[in-house]
Amino acid sequence: EEGFKVAIAGASGGIGQPLSMLMKMNPFVKELSLFDLQHTPGVAADLSHIETLCKVGPDQIYKALKDANVIIVPAGVPRKPGMTRDDLFNVNANIVKELAEAAAEVAPKALIAIITNPVNSVVPIVCEVMKKADKFDPKRIFGVTTLDIVRSNTFVAEALKINPKEVNVPVIGGHAGNTIIPLLSRSTPRVSFSDEQIIAMTKRIQNAGTEVVEAKAGAGSATLSMAYAAARFANSLMRGLRGEQNVIECSYVASDCGGASYFATPLVLGKDGVKENLGLGELNDFEKKEVEAAIPVLIENIQAGVDFVNNFK
């Protein structure tokens, strides 16, 4: 029976634990390797009692990542009220740089899904590390933006009073503030919101992470919805690896179609990661303006990641 090895770096955290549980219950996963700086033996022992075939173990970093098909990275510190995703940069950049160096060594063919914020900068860090190790394949490195899509679907469904499972809103750009660009004009089913409603809905989607940070009042940022979104994305990566056709997810990747060198767009996923980048597609005037406003922010975020790796002493 075909099955994949999935490694989670940061497996004991607020995202890592529910994500590990969802992966333990995913029938495509035959081996689940958990890595964290703390508590992994307990998390692994606990999950190992769940009655699925998936083998689960705590491992040191090299063993955990070795020959993994999919590596999911929620390692790092989360936001507190008043912090932006960029405020996390220094701590999290170091954490992910080390993980990427290990992945370049022992899992150069893995599909790597980055959750650690600021995603806009952390994905370029992983790519720069891979370039230095001569292992860079832009089709294999993803910033997980699925929570932006999940939130868009939920909020639009609420407004239309329909089942969110029936809604699909593509979201392009990046994964922070005004770089998050929901394409409400391309939502299915089609929606006819007024201009004011579109502006309000777009703002709510862009600030949804902060809604959770404030509600948690110091206890961190989104964990359960983020774990759900990452599990959905990892499942799509594995559907692509299995050769399923027309698996499409939006994700933040190295790209030449957005006006910045990394950009989230809808991607067709396949056996080597990105099979086809579907690009920005048709945008209305409001969405074009949103893209224009996002590009300079993205360029700055990307440069911070690139500089972090290349000026590292």
Q: Are 61 and 31 in contact (CB under 8 A)?
A: no
Q: Closest distance between ligand APR and the C-beta of residue 117, in Å?
A: 3
Q: Are 33 and 8 in contact (CB under 8 A)?
A: yes
Q: Closest distance between ligand APR and the C-beta of residue 253, in Å?
A: 18
Site for ligand APR, rule CB under 6 A: 9-10, 12-16, 35-38, 74-79, 88, 92, 95, 98, 115-117, 220-221, 223, 226
Strand stretches in 105-195, DSSP E:
111-114, 141-143, 171-173, 180-182
Q: Are 85 and 206 in contact (CB under 8 A)?
A: no
Give the dihedral sign, CA 190/204/112/4: negative
Our CB check for ligand APR shows the closer of 221 and 277 to be 221
Taking CB positions, which residue lies at the least distance from ligand APR? Answer: 13
Q: Is 175 in the active site?
A: yes
Task: Determine which one of 36, 175, 213, 260 is catalytic.
Answer: 175
Q: Closest distance between ligand APR and the C-beta of residue 29, in Å?
A: 20
Q: Closest distance between ligand APR and the C-beta of residue 71, in Å?
A: 12
Our CB check for ligand APR shows the closer of 42 and 243 to be 42
**Residue 189: cis peptide before it, omega within 30 degrees of 0:** yes
Our CB check for ligand APR shows the closer of 174 and 270 to be 174
- AA letter at 24: K
Tell me the three state secondary structure of residue 145: coil
From 201, 159, 152, select the one nearest 175 (Cα to Cα): 152
27 φ, ψ to 5°?
-65, -15
Q: Are 301 and 86 in contact (CB under 8 A)?
A: yes
Our CB check for ligand APR shows the closer of 37 and 53 to be 37
Our CB check for ligand APR shows the closer of 4 and 35 to be 35
185 φ, ψ to 5°?
-70, -20
Which residues are part of the catalytic machinery? 175
